[in-house]
Chain A
Amino acid sequence: MPEFLDYFQFVLAPQMLNGLSLGVAVILMALGLTIIFGLLDVINMAHGEFYAIGAFLALSVGALGFDFWVMLAVVPLMMVPIGWLTEQVLIQRVFHSRERHILTLLLTFGFGMVLEDVLKLVYGPNTQKPPTPIGGGTEILGIFLPNYRLFLIVFGAALILAVWLVVFRSRLGAMVRAAAWDKDMASSLGVPVRLVYSGTFAFGVALAGLSGVLLAPIYSVFPTMGRDFILMAFTVVIVGGMGSIQGAVVAGVLLTQVQAISSLYISPVWSDPLVFGIMVMVLMVRPQGLFGKLGNA
């Protein structure tokens, strides 16, 4: 019995908590993706690079002498015009084409590659790391968790809740959902659909940038960092249901826990194939994902 307690306290419980902090990170990435897809029907392959831009902007703001809390407020605001312009200048060009899915996918994929190289040119190829804003750790029932991870879990959960409230409980959210459900009807009822499109895209991009600020102290900052979470975030969006917020949260927690716990028993190299295997099964059995699309729920 003490052996099991030792195992639970040192191995299993911390592993689940670590999985949870990773889960929050993945959900923050997936939220932006799923909202953009749910409303605009655009698969944003450059999402990972927007996450990287957020992290690099945090470094720049930090270099000017501001602390972490300023970054947390300022960087998402800086991301809004970037997202807005991307939607207006790039996405709109191919948005009304019959091949929208393929064209926007290729466009954002290419744009992501350009952004990655721009980051390399501006900041150089080497890894950088902002200081951890909250040091130290807390013991909960003998389980050690760094304070910053604890903050990440709590702040992330609050942020997810706030996004949910905005989308489902505010007038703005109602307009977004109406535009997603039927853009012609919404438009004729006075919803400024064009503005809603650009605004939603910018909002998704700002969320990616915010994840960049939040995760930079843990995962460090380098030009190709955008590739880190993008596969997992896409998997979460697909399993949860393309365009579903609840889906992203449920699938995000579920898949990161599967990954965290399975890596204790099988070689960690195999935990990724396991997660992608689940995605393939969901696609075969329930292609629409666990939950329905934004606007339909």
Chain B
Amino acid sequence: MTKKTSALAAALLLTSAGTALAADPIRIGVVTPLSGTYAPIGQQVRWGLELAAKQVNDKGGIAGRPVELLFEDEEANPAVAVQKAEKLFQVAKVDFLTGTVNSGSTLAVGQVAERNDRLLATTVSFADSITTDKCSPNVFRVNARAGQQSAALAEWLNKEKPKSKVFFLGPDYEMGRSTVAAFKQAATDKGASDAGEVFAPLDSKDYTQYFGQLRASRPAVIYTSVAGNDTVRLLTQLEEYGLLRNLTVVGASGTVTSQNIGAIGKAAEGFVTGVGYSPEIGTPENKAFVDAFRAAYKTDPDLYGADSFGLIHFYKAAVEKAGTTATAALRDAMRGIQWQTPQGTKTMRGGDHQAVQEMYAVQVTDGKFRIVGTVPGEAAIGQDLCTKF
């Protein structure tokens, strides 16, 4: 009732002002890092959302209402993210929230959403906990989580090199140990055998001290989840010692990136990882998306841009199904919904609010990632481990 009258009042106001806008906009708050180390990721998030919002608005908006995006810089700092999210909910009265990049921010902002009885979705955070043991009825994830990435990689490995001996090398901290444990589980479940594991300190200078152990265990495959400079050193030193000749190197999705692939050079050739998106995907939907993205921003979208683009369509589908932006009805509509993204159709699993999607194995060939395999969403999704709702 009040909503209708206020919409009416707004419409009256707008017509009297002479504009053609008929409805109250839907406000989506975006709390994302626009400065600091993660700024390049925040930039992709922003571009993906803005492109989708523009296309949707050009076609009449969501349920006849235009989409409005409100950006706040969270500096990749959970404490700042919480303040900015609170501000967007309380002051700007946003209907929905997205944009958080690091998993700590997503978890913290999830609690703010619960307190304010609003919904949020992340398009970037990988940490499994967001939709497993720390799941929240108010938080959705439209991108693939770490578990899906390693499941996709294990699937590829099983198909290409069944029953291989795998050696595991991770950085010695929480993320490194959990990624190795997750992939080891996924790979040995499919018949691979464990040739040994080693955890090197972060920022190791020399990985050659582990090469003895590596050679003695005679593996066919090495899995690693090191990142940044560590990857440069590990892979170039492996090459220096001639160990890459009969070895397939696979790893986490953050191991070889556009930031370090140049420095790794030849030693990166053949590296395989599991991801949720690649600009290479050959579907007409993706081609249209990549072309529009390039035309607007003069660069290729990455998985963050693509998943943020997809988020607007997720929200649109849910609002149009529910016929409202009210939290409870919208949450019910989101559970089990299917929507179109550059990667194809995704499905939101109701039990843990995790998107189910096709996954890809990509391999470095001539310095660029090429798709070498696809894994159906069902094979990569894993069990629903959320027990809170």
Contact = CB atoms under 8 A, between A and B. Distances in A.
Q: Is the interface of B mostly helix, strand, loop or mixed?
A: helix
Given A127-B229, A220-B233, A14 B263 contact: no
Given A6-B216, A219-B205, A269-B199, A126 B260 contact: yes
B201 A268 contact: yes
Contacts of B216: 6-7, 10-11
Interface stretch (B17-25, B77-85, B235-243, B319-327): B235-243
Interface residues of B, number: 32
Interface stretch (B56-64, B207-215, B345-353): B207-215
A218 interface: yes
B205 A228 contact: yes
Interface in A2-22: 6-7, 10-12, 14-15, 18-19, 22
A267 B199 CA distance: 8
Q: Is the interface of A mostly helix, strand, loop or mixed?
A: helix
Contact of A222 (B201, B208, B229): B229
A135 B264 CA distance: 16
A18 B233 contact: no
Contacts of B241: 137, 144, 146
Interface residues of A, number: 34
B33 to A, nearest CB: 16
Contacts of B215: 10
A7 B216 CA distance: 8
B204 interface: yes
Contact of B240 (A19, A132, A222): A132
Given A10-B212, A11-B212, A219-B233, A137 B228 contact: no
Contacts of A129: 232, 236, 263-265
Among B198, B210, B213, B229, the one with the most A-chain Cβ atoms within 10 Å of its Cβ is: B229
B244 to A, nearest CB: 12
A22 to B, nearest CB: 6
Given A132-B240, A148-B240, A268-B209, 10 more contacts: A10-B212, A11-B216, A12-B212, A14-B208, A15-B209, A126-B260, A127-B263, A220-B236, A222-B229, A268-B172
15 contacts: A15-B209, A18-B206, A18-B211, A22-B205, A126-B262, A127-B260, A128-B263, A129-B264, A137-B241, A219-B205, A220-B263, A222-B229, A264-B212, A268-B198, A268-B204
